[in-house]
């Protein structure tokens, strides 16, 4: 891994002292250093497009080049603001784009959700006419690349991409366990499995929720045919669940969401105001952190998801849920309430136990769910 002290010293010397983005485990060293040493100058955004907008505002207000960090899976969220806001023919906003390069070559053979994104990461920058460099794990070379990147961004008023392959910016990930709330994510998911009918369909969000649902099914000796594991497309598990609930009114459908995922595409919550989906329950497993990529804080424990959900048309129990009995009671109240239900399930950070890597055939899993829903 690059020496992060050297990276930030170089950036500071070049006038780059404002950082915003969405954390990525490939950029864990960078993200954690920014969080620890520059908390007032580091804004963890709702999504990557949001970060581009924040960075543009920073440039307009200061004339200084900002840095936006993201996993390459988040590049899609940036295409519109990069092409229609930051582009040289529109407002010409210079910024550095630090991008974790998941799926490069054959670095993640068991994670096909990163394969295509890995292939097209440089091409996306090229098609948007954004110059870029691929970082190497060499402090001297990295310092020179940063100097070239900042100079190019300043002189031509364009974004400049810095693509970070595996290991170049990735620091250690800790368990980050806390004791703010009694239940872990795994414990909350198991309570839901026990409380809901056996034919309930589950859509689990990107990261830990998918892995924990998968291994809970293994441990309990249960079929996975009713489960959709949203291993990519962060923020869209609830939309998949909603699509299923609309067509299968005879089946209970539960979204096992995360606070960061729900925040990333919060507009999806509004859909139930227009649709009749009384068989849909949306559970946000809210630990206030980007746990899957290093535990950086989110806004999950700072906002009132319950009031937001109520304003969007969901039925709720009027407050966040924090323990086993509360969760069981909330599920009992909402599963037959006549409209879509929402639960802000407050959980603590960290895992209940060791969690093996998720390794399964994605196409087979999708086909099993299709057969289950259409059999």
Do 282 and 217 have their domain in common?
Answer: yes
Q: Which residues contact 221 (CB under 8 A, 6 or more apart)?
A: none
CATH number, domain of 288, equals 3.40.50.970
Do 26 and 101 have their domain in common?
Answer: yes
Q: What is the pLDDT along the chain (375 residues), one digit of tens a residue?
A: 999 999 999 999 999 999 999 999 999 999 999 999 999 999 999 999 999 999 999 999 999 999 999 999 999 999 999 999 999 999 999 999 999 999 998 788 888 898 999 999 999 999 999 999 999 999 999 999 999 999 999 999 999 999 999 999 987 665 566 778 999 999 999 999 999 999 999 999 998 999 999 999 999 999 999 999 999 999 999 999 999 999 999 999 999 999 999 999 999 999 999 999 999 999 999 999 998 888 899 999 999 999 999 999 999 999 999 999 999 999 999 999 999 999 999 999 987 666 777 889 999 999 999 999 998
Please tell me whether residue 5 adopts helix, strand or coil conformation. helix
Do 233 and 140 have their domain in common?
Answer: no
Per-residue model confidence (pLDDT) at position 105: 87
The token pair at 225 is: 């045919």
Do 193 and 277 have their domain in common?
Answer: yes
Choosing from 164, 197, 216, the residue where a domain stops is 164
The total number of structural domains in the chain stands at: 2
Do 240 and 154 have their domain in common?
Answer: no
Residue 174 lies in a domain: no
Residue 176 lies in a domain: no
Q: How far apart are CA 267 and CA 224, in angstroms?
A: 29
Choosing from 133, 164, 195, the residue where a domain stops is 164
Residue 100 lies in a domain: yes
Tell me, what DSSP letter sits at residue 66? Answer: -
| pTM, two decimal places | 0.94
Residue 325 lies in a domain: yes
Residue 169 lies in a domain: no
Do 100 and 206 have their domain in common?
Answer: no
Question: Residue 363 — left, alpha, or beta (φ > 0 → left; ψ -120 to 50 → alpha)?
Answer: alpha
Q: How far apart are CA 135 and CA 83, in angstroms?
A: 24
Q: How far apart are CA 16 and CA 347, in angstroms?
A: 36
CA pseudo-torsion sign 255, 256, 262, 265: negative
The pairs formed by 6-13 with CB atoms below 8 angstroms and a separation of 24 or more are 6/139, 6/142, 6/143, 7/33, 7/142, 7/146, 8/33, 8/34, 8/37, 8/38, 10/142, 10/143, 10/146, 10/147, 11/67, 11/146, 11/150
The CA-atom distances, in angstroms, between 290 and each of 23, 32, 270, 294 are: 7, 12, 23, 6
What pLDDT, in 10s, does the model give residues 297-334? 999 999 999 999 999 999 999 999 999 999 999 999 99
Beta bridge partners, 341, equal 281, 315
Rg of the chain on CA atoms, in Å: 21
Do 72 and 135 have their domain in common?
Answer: yes
Choosing from 129, 164, 199, the residue where a domain stops is 164
Do 158 and 198 have their domain in common?
Answer: no
Structural domain boundaries, residue 43 = 4-164
What pLDDT, in 10s, does the model give residues 101-118? 999 987 888 888 989 999
CB 256 within 8 A of CB 209: yes
Residue 54 lies in a domain: yes
Residue 189 lies in a domain: yes
Residue 43 lies in a domain: yes
Do 157 and 286 have their domain in common?
Answer: no
Q: How far apart are CA 347 and CA 359, in angstroms?
A: 26
Please tell me whether residue 126 adopts helix, strand or coil conformation. helix
Query: Which parts of the chain are beta strand (E)?
Result: 19-21, 42-44, 67-71, 95-100, 132-134, 159-164, 201-204, 227-229, 253-258, 280-286, 289-290, 296-297, 341-346
Do 230 and 305 have their domain in common?
Answer: yes
How would DSSP label each residue in 250-307?
TS-EEEEEEHHHHHHTGGGGGGGGTS--TTEEEEEEE-SEEGGGT-EE-STTTS-HHH
Tell me, what DSSP letter sits at residue 323? Answer: S
Do 220 and 149 have their domain in common?
Answer: no
Do 159 and 210 have their domain in common?
Answer: no
> What are residue 51's phi and psi, to 5 degrees?
-65, -40
């Amino acid at each position: 891994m690059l020496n992060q002290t050297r990276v930030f010293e170089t950036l500071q010397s070049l006038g780059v002292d404002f950082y915003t983005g969405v954390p990525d485990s490939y950029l864990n060293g960078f993200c954690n250093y920014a969080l620890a040493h520059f908390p007032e100058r580091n804004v963890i955004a709702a999504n990557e497009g949001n970060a581009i907008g924040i960075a543009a505002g920073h440039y307009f207000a200061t004339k200084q080049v900002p840095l936006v960090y993201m996993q390459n899976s988040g590049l899609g969220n940036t295409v519109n603001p990069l092409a229609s806001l930051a582009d040289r023919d529109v407002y010409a906003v210079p910024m550095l784009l630090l991008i974790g390069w998941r799926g490069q070559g054959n670095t993640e053979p068991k994670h096909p959700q990163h394969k295509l994104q890995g292939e097209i990461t440089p091409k996306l920058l090229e098609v948007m006419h954004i110059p870029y460099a691929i970082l190497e794990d060499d402090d001297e070379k990295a310092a020179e690349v940063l100097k070239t990147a900042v100079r190019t961004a300043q002189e031509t008023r364009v974004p400049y991409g810095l693509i970070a392959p595996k290991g170049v910016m990735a620091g250690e990930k800790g368990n980050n366990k806390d004791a703010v709330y009694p239940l872990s994510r795994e414990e909350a998911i198991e309570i839901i499995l026990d409380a809901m009918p056996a034919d309930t369909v589950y859509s689990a969000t990107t990261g830990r929720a998918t892995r924990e649902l998968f291994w809970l099914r293994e441990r309990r000796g249960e079929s996975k045919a009713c489960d959709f594991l949203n291993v990519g497309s962060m923020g869209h598990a609830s939309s998949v669940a909603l699509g299923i609930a609309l067509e299968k009114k005879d089946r209970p459908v539960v979204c096992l969401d995360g606070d960061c995922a729900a925040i990333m595409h919060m507009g999806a919550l509004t859909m139930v105001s227009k649709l009749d989906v009384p068989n849909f329950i949306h559970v946000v497993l809210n630990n206030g952190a980007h746990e899957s990529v290093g535990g950086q804080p989110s806004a999950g424990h700072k906002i009132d998801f319950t009031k937001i959900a109520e304003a969007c048309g969901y039925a709720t129990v009027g407050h966040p849920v924090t323990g086993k009995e509360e969760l069981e009671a909330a599920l009992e109240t909402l599963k037959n309430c006549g409209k879509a239900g929402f639960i802000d399930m407050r959980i603590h950070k960290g895992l209940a136990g060791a969690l093996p890597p998720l390794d399964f055939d994605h196409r087979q899993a999708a086909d099993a769910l299709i057969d289950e829903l259409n059999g």
